[in-house]
Amino acid sequence: MATYLPLYCFVLSACVSIAGLHEFLKAHKQKWRWREAVMMAAYF
C-alpha cells in the first residue's frame, strides 16, 4: 500500500493543477478547453 503513495501524490497534484487552471480561466471569463487541460497534464 505504501508503494502506491508517490503515484497517488502525483495524480492528486496533477488534478489540483487542472482544477486550478479551470478556476483561473473561470475567474478571467475565458472559455474552458479540454485541450489545454490535457496539455497541462502532459507537461506536468
Q: So where are the chain's domains?
A: 2-43
Segment 3-23 mean pLDDT:
90
Q: How confident is the model at residue 3 (pLDDT cuts 50, 70, 90)?
A: confident
On the CB side of 24, CA atoms within 13 Å amount to 9
Read off the pTM. 0.71
- Distance of CA 36 to CAs 2, 4, 5, 6, 7, Å? 32, 28, 27, 25, 23
Examine the pLDDT at 2 and tell me if it is beyond 80: no
Q: How confident is the model at residue 29 (pLDDT cuts 50, 70, 90)?
A: very high
> What does the alpha-carbon distance between residue 9 and residue 35 come to, in Å, rounded to a whole number?
23
| Model pLDDT, residue 34 | 87
Q: Which DSSP state fits 8? A: H
